[in-house]
Amino acid sequence: MVLDEDSNWLINADGVESIQAVICDLNGILRGKRVPVGQAEKVLKGGIRMPLSIAGVDVWGEDIVGSSHVFASGDMDGICSPTGRGALPVNWTLKPSAVVPLWLFKESGEPFLADPRQALAHIVRQYHELGLRPVVASEMEFYLIDAEPDHAEPPISPYTGKRLDSDAILSIDELDDFGQFFSDVYAECERQNVPADSAVAENGIGQFEINLIHSDDPLKAADDALFFKRIIKGVARKHGFAATFMAKPYGMRSGSGMHMHFSVIDEDGNNVFDDGTPEGSAIMKHAVAGLTRGMAESTLLFAPHYNSYRRLRPDTHAPTSISWGYENRTAAIRIPGGNNKARRIEHRVAGADANPYLVMAGILGAALVGIRNKWEPPAPVSGRAYLSQLPRIPSEWGSAVTAFENGSIVSEIFDADLRSMLIACKRQEIAGFAEQVTDFEFSAYLEIV
């Protein structure tokens, strides 16, 4: 078996029997095949094929009814090539295994631009053509929950044996309670080359945040975010509880976000957002203008699910207005303070449930449109950005789908196949939720009306 340099560990790995050959769909869910470890070379040399339509199945894994990408086209296969990450060790399962990340190409060898990773690569190439490189980092929030109930319930502390019952923002004790879990998370991140940084206890019961270190390779940064979510879920199960990246698992508690920080450097490594002042350069402001103009039509990328819109509520540390400001966490776009050389944009709209590739593609793409057109942003917001006179981020799933469908900026950023597949996927999911009668709805109306 001849393996690439990043996958040589497989030869001497003890007990590894299988490889998971996976692509990431539009919902940010890994889909693929389990392959015997003896077929590793086939996987790593692009010998795996999967239907192109797999990129656009709904959140339940169902084909999209009436999709032109399924039966009308014969549901054709694509070529699944390795992304260059190699085979990544997975040690939290009953038997150790490996996962090989792949992305989709057409039979002709062209990138299939409805693959979310390919969509991000398409944007990054456009920056490179201008002699620019985005530098990206993400902040990932999640909840640890009890693995037994079929609803969100705080976990039992491994240290005290008691169920968590209060918010504990920045609590060192709560981090200590789950110390072994975090030790295993950092160990798995190191094995998979995911650059995990500091961990903090967040606002909600059992809610935590881990930052990922910035990278000037947005594809790797998005890979890192995707693999990080999988590591958190897998290690949580190993420790007897579960983890969720739902945007709002508890109706009355803090939601979980996936904040993205980015700057842009030139060929000499200079940060083009820095002009030596706290206000930032004209290029930075052009980027902010692209982000604000494109925010409404991009919201579907940042809030892709039914539950996502429970998070986007006033006075919750999640944004509701299309706004930006300096050191303002109530705005959708925050310009952090600090050293001018590190001047950057923090985009605060995306929930932790979003697809990292589409989030980064939507942010970097809209910023690039603003830079190219030299747009000027509205005035920055001071103080509370939940004011009613500010333009609003779509607060309802269906209106976000419509805004995405009609958007001129997203049509400039994304390929037509991706747009049509995502719109059809989300409309099918909306119909699925509309057909369900919840327990709360049933109890509210059963004998009253």
Name the average pLDDT for the chain: 92
Please determine, for residue 244, whether its predicted confidence score (pLDDT) is greater than 60.
yes
Residue 84 binned pLDDT confidence (cut-offs 50, 70, 90): very high
Lowest mean pLDDT among 2-11, 342-351, 438-447: 2-11
Whether residue 440 is contained in a domain is answered as no
Same domain, 300 and 210: yes
Residue 169 binned pLDDT confidence (cut-offs 50, 70, 90): low
Same domain, 155 and 40: no
CATH number for the domain harbouring residue 327: 3.30.590.10
Same domain, 285 and 183: yes
* High-pLDDT (> 70) share of the chain, %: 96
pLDDT at 160: 76
Residue 72 binned pLDDT confidence (cut-offs 50, 70, 90): low
Please determine, for residue 170, whether its predicted confidence score (pLDDT) is greater than 60.
no
**In total, how many domains does the chain have?**
2
Report the distance separating Cα 321 and Cα 331, nearest Å. 7
Report the distance separating Cα 45 and Cα 391, nearest Å. 49
Report the distance separating Cα 444 and Cα 130, nearest Å. 58
Please determine, for residue 304, whether its predicted confidence score (pLDDT) is greater than 90.
yes
Q: Is the dihedral of CA 330, 334, 335, 338 positive or negative?
A: positive
Cβ pair 77, 92 in contact under 8 A: no
Residue 242 binned pLDDT confidence (cut-offs 50, 70, 90): very high
pLDDT at 46: 86
Same domain, 137 and 198: yes
Whether residue 68 is contained in a domain is answered as yes
Task: For residues 21-43, give the mean pLDDT.
Answer: 93
pLDDT at 71: 62
Residue 255 binned pLDDT confidence (cut-offs 50, 70, 90): very high
285/440: higher pLDDT: 285
Same domain, 79 and 146: no
DSSP 138-162: EEEEEEEEESSSSS--PPBPTTT-S
- Residue 40's domain spans which residues? 5-111
Whether residue 446 is contained in a domain is answered as no
Report the distance separating Cα 116 and Cα 27, nearest Å. 9
Cβ pair 64, 58 in contact under 8 A: yes
Residue 249 binned pLDDT confidence (cut-offs 50, 70, 90): very high
Same domain, 315 and 259: yes
pLDDT at 173: 66
Whether residue 312 is contained in a domain is answered as yes
Residue 29 binned pLDDT confidence (cut-offs 50, 70, 90): very high
Residue 117 binned pLDDT confidence (cut-offs 50, 70, 90): very high
pLDDT at 140: 94
Residue 204 binned pLDDT confidence (cut-offs 50, 70, 90): confident
Residue 353 binned pLDDT confidence (cut-offs 50, 70, 90): very high
Instruction: Identify the DSSP state of 264.
Output: E
Task: For residues 95-119, give the mean pLDDT.
Answer: 95
Same domain, 246 and 330: yes
Same domain, 162 and 72: no
In angstroms and rounded to an integer, the radius of gyration of the C-alpha atoms of the chain is 22
Cβ pair 391, 297 in contact under 8 A: no
Whether residue 194 is contained in a domain is answered as yes
Residue 172 binned pLDDT confidence (cut-offs 50, 70, 90): low
Same domain, 305 and 408: yes
**Which of 152-166, 258-272, 427-441 is the most confident on average?**
258-272
Report the distance separating Cα 277 and Cα 120, nearest Å. 31
Phi, then psi, of 417 in degrees rounded to 5: -65, -45
Report the SS3 class of residue 100: strand
pLDDT at 73: 65
Same domain, 142 and 103: no
Same domain, 235 and 102: no
CA 203 to centroid of chain Cα atoms: 20
Cβ pair 40, 87 in contact under 8 A: yes
Task: For residues 359-375, give the mean pLDDT.
Answer: 98
CA 10 to centroid of chain Cα atoms: 29
Lowest mean pLDDT among 84-98, 139-153, 163-177: 163-177
Same domain, 23 and 141: no
Whether residue 432 is contained in a domain is answered as no
